[in-house]
Structure 1
Amino acid sequence: MYIRTCTSHTLQVPTMADRRSGSRARSRDLPGEFRQFSNLTKQLKKIVYDTNISRAELRNCGHFEEERISELLLEDEHELFMKSIVGDPPCLLICGQTYTAKATILNRILNEQILRITNCSDNSKSWRPLRFRFGAERRSALTTLTDSFELLNGDYNPGTNWTVLPQRDVEIRQEDLSDPCTAQATTEVTLNHPLLATKVEIIVAPHNCPDLNITRLYSQYSSRMLPIIFYGIDKDYLSQEEQRELLDLRHLASDLPLLFLDCCPHTESPARHSQVDDDLGEDSAYDSNNEDLVARSVEDLESHNQGASSPSPRRPSRFHDIVHGQLRSLGFLTDPSEVPVFKGGMTPTEDDLHQSRLEKLYNMQGILMFVRQVLQLYLTRATTVLHDLHLQCMNMFITTAFDMQRDIQITPRRIDYARQREMELFESLKDLANQRQEEIRKLIQATIQDLKEPLLQEAENYQFEDLEISLDGELSQGKEIKGCTTQIQELVLNRVNKAVVDKLISSVDYLHDSFVGTLTRCLESLEKGEDGQQGETSASMALKQILNSAYQVEVTVRTSYSFVKVIWERMKEILQSMKPFKAPPIVDKDWKRKVAINLLNNLDESKLAKSICSQFRSRLNNSHDMFSSSLRQLENKHSGRLEKTEEQRMKVRKVHAPRLARLALDSTSLRDMVLYGMPKLEREIGRGQYGVVYSCRNWAGLTSLAVKSVVPPDDKHWNDLALEFHYTRSITEHERVVTLRGSVIDHSYGGDGCSPAVLLIMDRLQRDLHVAIKAGLDFPGRLQVALDVVEGMRYLHSLGLVHRDIKLKNVLLDKRDRGKITDLGFCKPEAMMSGSIVGTPIHMAPELFSGKYDSSVDTYAFGILFWYVCAGHVRLPTAFEQCANKDHLWSSVKKGVRPEKLNVFDKHCWELMQACWAGEPGDRPLLGEVQIKLQEIHERALDARLKMTKLRDLAGSKQAKTEDKGRPREV
């Protein structure tokens, strides 16, 4: 048993998002945010690594079609993004209107004066790009933009003994312009600072460098870092050049928000501090007094500008009207009333993650929240891409498993169907050949009579082939008359043969297109090779020979004439040849017609019918034997193939699907953790075999939740939990199924992280059906819950899912006592079921013990549940109570032992539960039928309750009248 111990503790893990419950945030500064980001990217990196391994195995296992495997490849954009997330460090990219604005932001973030701000003329000078990294000592050096090498010259002497970065290291002097490398060099600074120690880098954009603008700098660093963009504003408006620069930057960083910082103090009343305090919210990211924090922030800002002739303080209304309006017109900001304000304890929604912000520089809480927002955006995008890939894999597994299962089930049926239908066809044709010879003779006679005139017309117009005949019809040689006669005879016999065969085939009822077409398609599907290519195989050829047996009969002169007529015609030819100097006849139309008439008149229908039937029988028997032999070979081939298919299906179900389901659980849990944080667990409200359930006040904007805490002890339980989560999360929200809202994995559980706890967040309901029956829920109310259970089961079955554990405690009731099915731990698609014995013993159907079952096991379990609904108590049935152990119970169920009939059961209820728990799955009713019968029972129960209520009211009124009569009247 792997349940969380019942202790009054709350999981405390630093989160990327503050809890909506209003608890005090744990990440209180920028270094803490980046450390947490680093921890989460380590988890993400492991998920990516395991995903790549799984994808490689799927590619090499050979169980899936190449087309499906190719769909699992990420787009190039997503592939590069994932590599960047797990491999590149984050960086703060500081841009701004002036050098003063950038320097002020840098000093504010590092909380020390690194860049000196002397006077307003600084903004007219040219300043290098700066790159700040972590180092054990303070050091500055000039490097190329690509960091290929460090620049050294006589005028530059890198030093370490400084507090404020020397101006010579930052300013581009006039003499530097002669050397392009020096003019475009970057000043790289190393500092031993807590923020930089988290592997974060800070990039300060150059100023007054035409050859090195913001867009080029962003393109340079975004390919190897994760930028977080600040833009300092210390003027009352944005110039046209600055607006173009911002639009170019937005084009490059279209998916990233920008933080615009107001770097110049406003002329405000002392009440400003209290207003800022309201903006920060009651639960600030700092434990110190908010007013002191704001005061110190303003003092620091003013001290940085002390002694400088910087712009005079401006009024906030002018700044708001102009700059805010410009940013709105550029598409960075929305209407002020629509801009959400970051407050302590609040988590931005997914849409908010893409929203640019405008904050005051001294509002460090706003800066902190923006950094958190961008880091959330990076992680959310990465986990979403990963989770979509995992879901795609899982859907492929389920589809493949269904295809494999269908192949295993349908192939033997197709073979049996082909054998049966071919036998029917063979027997019908054989009967035709054996018993209908006289019918065939009459058919031939009628055919010849109908065909005679058109055939004679065709014979008259026939053109001889390969014979020398003049235009008058004279033959060059007398012996060629035999060739002319033969050609006319062949013409007549071919037409007769075709007409007779057409009539013969059309008289066979079993050769309708529907029959032959279905049988042909069945054979074609069976004869497709493993590579999917269809060829002309022996079974198809044998079937065609059966179908063409009638077409292949031959009508010749020998089979058409009687023996006496053949001898007489031969003697006439001999006598004609003995006559001397006999001129050959003219082969004109009359001659051709005469030859054709002579042939038609001398055809012997009886002999022709006998010959046709004999040929038909012979060819039919040969084709049938060939078909039977080919079908046996086909069956043997499929038998071996289906064994391999079953092995592949089991590997998909036991290896690939659980592994990807666990990765899907990891990715979506990480995403929920990033967006919504760890749920705050409150009191324990229940526990079961696989976990403890706690109440949760709110999470992710939802209220009144329940959190199921599960600690899987090994990989098998992890896989089962991951599959449960996948199937439950994939179910579209339905009012009769408990909705799973999200999940979070607590890697800190157990101390060393070796046994993390999985927190499954779902809607919290009032009680389960077991408790409701014990509490005395009335019969119509119990029937309504039973109807709700059937509706939920029908919905699950419509999705191809089988619950396999329908029982009282897995039916939860809401405030209106309407039922919802929960605990889909054993719920799986039919194709993914392995035949394992799962469920609660008294609710398990007999076929569960054989390992071969389908969705009807839920109908059986409902029958047992309905017994409790009608009984009105939760005691075991007497037949089951006498069983000493589980094995005894299972043995009794397999022998047909069922719950007894109680006196409170009416006829309709007892018949329904008996039908549901029938021993044979095929004898159980469909859930649609169960629902109809339940509705009728429920309506009768409501009518009975209404009548009882009326009788009770009537009896009460009579009793009241009697009491009034017996009471003495007051005088």
Structure 2
Amino acid sequence: MQVAPRRLEYARQQEEQLYDELLAVARNKEENIRLLIAKTLDQDRDLLLRRECVLREVNKRVGQQLVMPPASQLVNAAYQVEVRPTSSWGLLRSMWERIKELLTGGASAPLDEGASLRRRTAPGSREWKRQIAADMIRGLSEKRLARTIAAQVRCLTLISGEIKAAHSMFLSYMELLETQLNEMNNSIERRKDQLKGVHAPKLAKLALHTDAINNRVKYGLPVLGGELGRGHFGVVYSCKSWAKYSPCAVKTLLPRDSAQWRDIALQYHYTRLMGYHPRIVGIHACLIDKYYGEGNKPVPGRAGGGRERWGSGSRSGAKAHGSKSGALSNQCVLLIMDMHECDLDTAIRRGLLWYQRLRIALDVVLGIRFLHSQGLIHRDIKPKNVLIDVKGRAKVTDLDFCKPEAMMTGSIVGTPIHMAPELFSGNYDSSVDVYAFGVLFWYLCSGKTNMPRNFCLQKSKEDLKVAVFKGVRPECLSTFSPECWAIMEQCWASDPRDRILLGFVEDRLSEMLKKSLDDMKEEDVSLTDAT
């Protein structure tokens, strides 16, 4: 059986419950013995005295006075009574057996108290038997029963001690199991960290170089066109055709150090590994240009894709990517992707109908849910990282798989309005994407790209970060419907556990989109009838 923390906790809870029940039984049994004896002596004394009980000792004494043995046998048969206690409790049964043994085995000493009365009454008479029974009951209540109860109490005390000892032993074994489990888990985590931090990036970089060489040999480098956009770490160009992709987009990335090489390799690896999804911008291929900026290449960052001859040893390409000192190497990674019309930020500026905004929001939710199903977290959901195709459908792009420590080292550039509070501490899960979607949905519902007024009041990014930690969120605009505002509030809740699941968001957006399309159809019908 696999030992897990939850199983250990379950075993501990069950043992504590059993331990409490056993102690309760031990305490209750001792009290029940006392109450049972008291009740028996108080309530059944007269009944015992009235019963037609003829004891073996009585039979024997009567038989000794008879001359004929057959008569003695008849008396024994006539007066022998088997006393059967109605209770099934072992203690009561043993008490009755002891009474029978004492009564049938003969008294070791004569009962002086009723001796004169017995001599005055005829042996075998009803009064004579009643007096003998009363004497024996008094003797048992004073001596025999006291010894029996004392023995039972000592037995219960021993049982309670054994229960407590077993409980202590169980707890010690549980602590030992927990210690061993923690050591095993720590060892596994160390191996995982080594795999993720050392071996996985090396294998991913090796796979990146292998694919790049293969694509370079087969299809050559793409001819770059005009600039489509740029981010913090790369520039995107258009390309008329490369291999079987026409047209396509080429994202150029110039790694500044080994850490960025690792991140690019992992991004390429995970994107290729998770396969195709209609709401995710995939990467078709990669290439590496070892002489980027030294040949007849378009100058990165120049609109229109102007071409010029660069002199030998030029690092214009590196400078255009924002590197302070160019780069440690002029090698450039080229990622081949599908061409898109624009990003969501540009689309909002151009203007979108309400049903288009709802459909884009639904597409983004589907893309995020797919990433989460693959065990991935985007960490940077915002309008700039959502692309719109020619059909007006949205796709999530710019997958960011940086380590959580990167959030604390200042390598995250840009405003933190889309970042959940826990992202800054490095202790987070996939719910940070839910938070970011809530802010993105605010922009979609507002129909503008202006920063929320509550965030504009902050003088610096540090002030904005503090405000987000304190619970400051975008304001509710008059154009928001209660349903849309409820989705936003549930997405950006401060406690990650209180945030809504994206599956519920998908259902709500689907219903809202359907209603919006139905309303549009009704309006079209009304306009047609009017004309």
Q: Do they superpose with TM above 0.5?
A: yes
Distance 2:407 2:176 in 1: 34
Do structure 1's residue 426 and structure 2's residue 19 form an aligned pair? yes
1:74-89 aligned at under 5 Å gives the runs: none
CA deviations over 1:8-57 (Å, ceiling 9, x no partner): xxxxxxxxxxxxxxxxxxxxxxxxxxxxxxxxxxxxxxxxxxxxxxxxxx
Equivalent position amino acid for 1:434 in 2: R
SS at 2:279's partner residue? coil
Equivalent position amino acid for 1:687 in 2: R
Shift of 1:809: 1.3
Q: Is the 8 A contact 1:750 1:756 kept in 2?
A: no
Going from structure 1 to structure 2, the CA distance change for 1:616 and 1:672 (only over 3 Å counts) comes to: farther
Going from structure 1 to structure 2, the CA distance change for 1:673 and 1:565 (only over 3 Å counts) comes to: farther
SS at 2:240's partner residue? strand
Distance 2:379 2:489 in 1: 19
Going from structure 1 to structure 2, the CA distance change for 1:663 and 1:894 (only over 3 Å counts) comes to: same
Shift of 1:900: 0.2
Going from structure 1 to structure 2, the CA distance change for 1:655 and 1:708 (only over 3 Å counts) comes to: same
Distance 1:789 1:560 in 2: 82
Equivalent position amino acid for 1:883 in 2: Q
Shift of 1:658: 1.9
Q: Which runs of 4+ in 1 moved over 6 A?
A: 437-441, 557-561, 566-572, 604-612
1:238-249 aligned at under 5 Å gives the runs: none
SS at 1:919's partner residue? coil
Corresponding residue for 2:173?
Answer: 630
Shift of 1:952: 5.5
Distance 2:463 2:98 in 1: 84
1:759-908 aligned at under 5 Å gives the runs: 759-824=334-399, 826-827=400-401, 836=407, 841-908=416-483
Going from structure 1 to structure 2, the CA distance change for 1:424 and 1:702 (only over 3 Å counts) comes to: same
Structure with greater contact order relative to length (CA < 8 Å, sep ≥ 6): 1
Corresponding residue for 1:735?
Answer: 278
Q: Is the 8 A contact 1:560 1:607 kept in 2?
A: no
Distance 1:440 1:786 in 2: 73
Shift of 1:571: 10
Do structure 1's residue 724 and structure 2's residue 317 form an aligned pair? no
Shift of 1:616: 3.6
Do structure 1's residue 663 and structure 2's residue 206 form an aligned pair? yes
Shift of 1:834: 5.8
Distance 1:714 1:835 in 2: 14
CA deviations over 1:910-961 (Å, ceiling 9, x no partner): 0111111111111111111111111122223223434444555667x4xxxx
Do structure 1's residue 911 and structure 2's residue 504 form an aligned pair? no
Shift of 1:740: 0.8
Going from structure 1 to structure 2, the CA distance change for 1:726 and 1:880 (only over 3 Å counts) comes to: same
Distance 1:691 1:876 in 2: 24
SS at 2:395's partner residue? strand
Distance 1:858 1:635 in 2: 34
SS at 1:628's partner residue? helix
Shift of 1:788: 0.7
Q: Is the 8 A contact 1:650 1:834 kept in 2?
A: no
Equivalent position amino acid for 2:288 in 1: I
Shift of 1:646: 4.2
SS at 1:930's partner residue? helix
Q: Is the 8 A contact 1:562 1:607 kept in 2?
A: no
Paired residue for 1:941, among 509, 512, 516? 516
Going from structure 1 to structure 2, the CA distance change for 1:610 and 1:900 (only over 3 Å counts) comes to: same
Corresponding residue for 1:745?
Answer: 288
**Sequence identity, in percent?**
41
SS at 2:233's partner residue? coil
Corresponding residue for 1:97?
Answer: none
Going from structure 1 to structure 2, the CA distance change for 1:918 and 1:722 (only over 3 Å counts) comes to: same
SS at 1:741's partner residue? strand
Equivalent position amino acid for 1:800 in 2: G
Going from structure 1 to structure 2, the CA distance change for 1:614 and 1:711 (only over 3 Å counts) comes to: same
Please give the TM-score of this superposition, normalised by the length of structure 1.
Answer: 0.38
Distance 1:920 1:560 in 2: 68
Q: Is the 8 A contact 2:343 2:383 kept in 1?
A: yes
CA deviations over 1:586-645 (Å, ceiling 9, x no partner): xxxxxxxxxxxxxxxxxx998998677545422211111122233334444555555555
SS at 1:734's partner residue? coil
Please give the TM-score of this superposition, normalised by the length of structure 2.
Answer: 0.68
Q: Is the 8 A contact 1:661 1:723 kept in 2?
A: yes
Do structure 1's residue 694 and structure 2's residue 240 form an aligned pair? no
CA deviations over 1:795-835 (Å, ceiling 9, x no partner): 111111111111111111111101111111x147xxx7668
Shift of 1:704: 1.3
Distance 2:482 2:368 in 1: 24
Going from structure 1 to structure 2, the CA distance change for 1:946 and 1:904 (only over 3 Å counts) comes to: farther
Going from structure 1 to structure 2, the CA distance change for 1:775 and 1:622 (only over 3 Å counts) comes to: same
Q: Is the 8 A contact 1:835 1:853 kept in 2?
A: no
1:434-513 aligned at under 5 Å gives the runs: 434-435=27-28
Q: Is the 8 A contact 1:746 1:757 kept in 2?
A: yes
Going from structure 1 to structure 2, the CA distance change for 1:615 and 1:768 (only over 3 Å counts) comes to: same
Shift of 1:436: 5.1
Equivalent position amino acid for 2:220 in 1: G
Going from structure 1 to structure 2, the CA distance change for 1:953 and 1:626 (only over 3 Å counts) comes to: same
Distance 1:566 1:885 in 2: 98
1:92-107 aligned at under 5 Å gives the runs: none
Q: Is the 8 A contact 2:263 2:401 kept in 1?
A: no
SS at 2:246's partner residue? strand
Shift of 1:675: 2.7
Q: Is the 8 A contact 1:559 1:608 kept in 2?
A: no
CA deviations over 1:272-308 (Å, ceiling 9, x no partner): xxxxxxxxxxxxxxxxxxxxxxxxxxxxxxxxxxxxx
Q: Is the 8 A contact 1:909 1:937 kept in 2?
A: no
What is the alpha-carbon root mean square deviation over aligned residues?
3.8
Corresponding residue for 2:115?
Answer: none
Gaps of 5+ in 2: 35-87, 109-146, 295-312, 314-327
Corresponding residue for 1:223?
Answer: none
Distance 2:105 2:179 in 1: 57
1:666-685 aligned at under 5 Å gives the runs: 666-685=209-228
Distance 1:427 1:907 in 2: 52
How many positions carry a matched residue from both structures?
405
Q: Is the 8 A contact 2:420 2:432 kept in 1?
A: yes
Going from structure 1 to structure 2, the CA distance change for 1:820 and 1:606 (only over 3 Å counts) comes to: farther
Equivalent position amino acid for 1:702 in 2: Y
Shift of 1:768: 1.3
Q: Is the 8 A contact 1:559 1:611 kept in 2?
A: no
1:69-468 aligned at under 5 Å gives the runs: 411=5, 413-435=6-28
Deviates more, 1:629-638 or 1:728-737: 629-638
Corresponding residue for 2:39?
Answer: none
CA deviations over 1:234-261 (Å, ceiling 9, x no partner): xxxxxxxxxxxxxxxxxxxxxxxxxxxx
Shift of 1:420: 2.8
Shift of 1:777: 1.2
